[in-house]
A and B are shown apart, each in its own frame.
Chain A
Amino acid sequence: MNHLLSTADLKLDDALLVLDTADRMARVADAPVRKLPTLRGRTVVNLFFEDSTRTRTSFEVAAKRLSADVINFSARGSSVSKGESLKDTAQTLEAMGADAVVCRHPASGAPHRLASWVRGSVVNAGDGTHEHPTQALLDAFTIRRRLGRLDGLAVTIVGDVLHSRVARSNVWLLTTLGARVTVVAPPTLVPLGISGWPVEVSYDLDAVLPKTDVVMMLRVQRERMSAAFFPTEREYSRRYGLDADRAALMPEHALVMHPGPMVRGMEIASSVADSPRSTVVEQVANGVSVRMAVLYLLLGGSGAERESS
């Protein structure tokens, strides 16, 4: 693995390697000295074209726990605004000698382009409406920790699948790992080309929940309403929101996940978000372990293991 651009091209062995490595990294977090010397002298650049304090901080903490030097490089503005182009930025990163570039960009495919212009490894930290592979990896990691396995589980993804990079990455990764995925959304928020995906599609959340081991709620942006994706927030919430009554339809062991930040009330009721079956807080902690694993595998590899042993 040279880059982590998408989960669509992540093989089962690679995915398991990341999850197993993340288990080891999680133990570092619990140790008295929470730092490994693995990536000492290596430079990780956080290249964020879109604000996301949560994701950027998570990558930063992960890199620092591996003793890498971290440069935060935030380039504001939308993908189509003129000014410094992605290619110019790539050349700057080359000049800085970046070993890894963690890239968040509002345009789908931007990290792919970046990967063709820089020598270092590129980690996709979310590109447009395409993918967010480390989010899916941390979700899978969280499920495996809680339920002990992924193979054979029924996972339901609810909400704006059309615009969600989290949904895309999870669909590919979870099916690679043996889970059965159902997506539930109003038809306007399901991509027209979804027939080619290895998922079931349903418009009826109540019918699906009783057979669900994990329900993954997605972010719904309020501006979707003005584009007629659904009539009102109230109607969305009634049909696709996860309130306490609905959560009660799920089996007792079933988990509730959300990539955050949550729109409480509309997407998910506070009582559900804060209930013991919710993994929202663990997902944040697990994000650091998974991102450590990714950086470790891309940059450290076996040579680094020798150093730390």
Chain B
Amino acid sequence: MTAVIVVRGVRPLGGDARDLVLAGGTIAAVTPVGGAEHTGVVAEAAAGCADGTRPAPLVVDATGLVALPGLVDLHTHLREPGREDAETVESGTRSAALGGYTTVFAMANTDPVADTAGVVEQVWRLGQDAGHCDVRPVGAVTRGLAGERLAELGAMASSAAAVRMFSDDGHCVSDALLMRRALEYVKAFDGVIAQHAEEPRLTTGAQMNEGAMAARLGLPGWPAVAEEAIIARDALLTGHVGSRLHICHVSTAGSVELIRWAKAKGWRVTAEVTPHHLLLTEELVASYDPVYKVNPPLRTEADTEALRAGLADGTIDCVATDHAPHASEDKETEWAAARPGMLGLETALSIVIQTMVETGRLDWAGVADRMALAPARIGAVADTPRDTAGFAQVGAPATLTLLDPQARRVIDPLAVASRSSNTPYGGRTLPGAIRATFLRGRPTVLDGKII
């Protein structure tokens, strides 16, 4: 394995070009372009290579590429254990690395459910064995995701997987008392409850966003208020008990308003938005193609506008993929029978570029914050700088991703690294391409290919 890597001519956060020297898992030197060879680390490695005691430094030509901190996804479905036909930890993390991610949080709705120390440790170890990125298991809030009794949150927190985020994602913790107890309990280890906000009585049988389109298509509606009612309630509970709440996949303009209100109160409420809710709208459902079926559903143009604005001003803290692979027999069917969810890891950064960078709402430092630093703060990920000033500095973790912002690529659903092909972007041309990903100084992707 290469011990010393020279990343030549890269633009950290889109700034001036630099050479970065990666060694020992950290950034060992930052120099003007062409200056890396004059640093002690590279000179020492080169000398060691000459007498055969060390491997030669690897030089990566990164001219024109932008360096970002390794991306962190708070919301990934890896499907293992239980649905290895749709995805495995190996294939899902491969997808993640190709998308520029160095840490993914694996959601708990597996089979068996990740509601014990045993299951979270199993998932964590599978991630280590695969080696494409760090896997941080999310523990279930309630046993079997049944919403009735708390899972062993403490045992999961003190397991080898060191779980800090808990979620019944796929289900809402709809019982107010249980939600209160969960929020209180995780204060013992500064945990966070990630809520899939969906009042179940208001969404029974729901198939798409409630409104004019649902009325026309004859599909039962999933009203915005079902999400907003839970966010409002949980924000109040969080304020009351003084805990940490994270709202998964915010999808409506009203939700953004509520989160803005909760933050103004000083409550510790954070939120994520998915790339697809930033770009796609319910109009696509008119095709009845289940590739567009997702939970929460695609909403209106006005909602995507509010979500973009909320992400830009920091009301929404971060982007999370809700990468949800499904086997073809679960998608190539009539709308109502199809499972909700779409792939996200390999296209997330491109969608953020299209919706946020190309529209002038975020610069590269903003992208770094929303896709790496903020999710790392929420999920308590070590090895990530606290803020953008700490990135690309000597001593900072060499966990980063190199992006070609000029590249354009056509998405081929059959050519993705995921085991599934349920991407809504098949045939679309998307901006940006990941050229390399480094995890603690070790390349996981080079030249756009898995190492």
Contact = CB atoms under 8 A, between A and B. Distances in A.
B214 A193 contact: yes
Given A192-B210, A193-B211, A195-B212, A107 B217 contact: no
Interface of A: 8, 79-80, 85-87, 105-110, 112-113, 127-131, 165, 168, 191-197
Nearest to A105: B334
B224 to A, nearest CB: 11
28 contacts: A8-B216, A80-B336, A85-B332, A85-B337, A107-B337, A108-B218, A109-B217, A109-B219, A109-B334, A109-B336, A110-B288, A110-B334, A112-B287, A113-B288, A113-B334, A127-B218, A128-B219, A130-B219, A131-B218, A165-B218, A168-B216, A168-B218, A191-B221, A192-B211, A193-B212, A193-B213, A193-B216, A194-B212
A80 B215 CA distance: 21
Contact of B214 (A85, A107, A191, A197): A191
A8 B210 CA distance: 19
Contacts of A128: 218-219, 336
B329 interface: yes
A10 B326 CA distance: 35
A283 B66 CA distance: 68
Nearest to A165: B218
Contacts of B332: 85, 87
A85 to B, nearest CB: 6
Given A108-B288, A127-B218, A128-B218, A193 B336 contact: no
A94 to B, nearest CB: 15
B223 interface: yes
Contacts of B333: 85-87, 113
Contacts of A194: 212, 215
Contacts of A195: 212
- Residue among A87, A112, A193 having the largest count of chain B Cβ atoms under 10 Å: A193
Contacts of A112: 287-288
Given A86-B334, A107-B337, A108-B207, 16 more contacts: A8-B216, A85-B337, A86-B337, A87-B333, A105-B334, A109-B218, A109-B334, A113-B289, A113-B334, A127-B218, A128-B336, A130-B218, A165-B218, A192-B223, A195-B212, A197-B216
B267 interface: no
A79 B337 contact: yes
Contact of B215 (A106, A109, A192): A192
A128 B205 CA distance: 13
A239 to B, nearest CB: 22
Interface in B11-55: none
A269 B213 CA distance: 35
B216 to A, nearest CB: 7
B335 interface: yes
B335 A193 contact: no
A106 B205 CA distance: 13
A241 to B, nearest CB: 24
Contact of A79 (B214, B217, B218, B336): B336
Nearest to B220: A129
A130 B336 CA distance: 12
Contacts of B212: 193-196
A130 B337 contact: no
A127 B288 CA distance: 12
A112 B289 CA distance: 9
